[in-house]
Structure 1
């Protein structure tokens, strides 16, 4: 994804619209470009759930979550001020939304939209292979 640049910066480059990794090579080294690779050490060791921001903007945040058998603590429910859309890229998980009697079993390719302030919990996640979520957090509730 190319960064937005000023006209003076564009002129300095001879008017060419070069990719950001050419202009800012230090960013390319830290940019996550594959959801199934480059796991943090804690995820590789199965020590804790990890969260990697992929894109953060004022009204949206996209992150990769790697779960290795983690679950919500007993009697704990998430209740977030923003909506969250999640997709299972690898592995599986059991998700429960408040008011639903049945747990939702999410497998590869399954997704769900969790509206803002909807209480929910993760009952279990597959440890091997790790469960990889793509999460999109969007607009805060008013």
Structure 2
């Protein structure tokens, strides 16, 4: 007799929920990576502009050009501040998704363990039944008179 777990659909559902939570976490991590990459680009652009501004102080550069560069650096600083907030939000989102995934994994593990225990019990009962049948066959042969 094959083992059929009555709650197999729940076990399958928990596995699907875990898989979906992994996908959601992957999307959140991807978004975090994009935000971090954009932040690095902004910081690199700011550093390049500051280098250009300091080089302009040593070379001949008009005041209006220096002011334009300084204005652009200030704009980049505001953009960096906004991007830092975006990165923090994305990190928070990743942390939430990780916790959700851990919960889904725990649920799946609980249901999988329950299934394993039920299967072990089923196998134990099948072995016991088989042993009883063998004992019955042996007792019938023993009780039967020899010909």
Q: Shorter-chain TM-score: which interval?
A: under 0.3
More helix per residue? 2
Higher relative contact order (CA 8 A, sep 6+): 2
More strand per residue? 1
TM-score, L = length of structure 2:
0.19
Larger Rg: 2
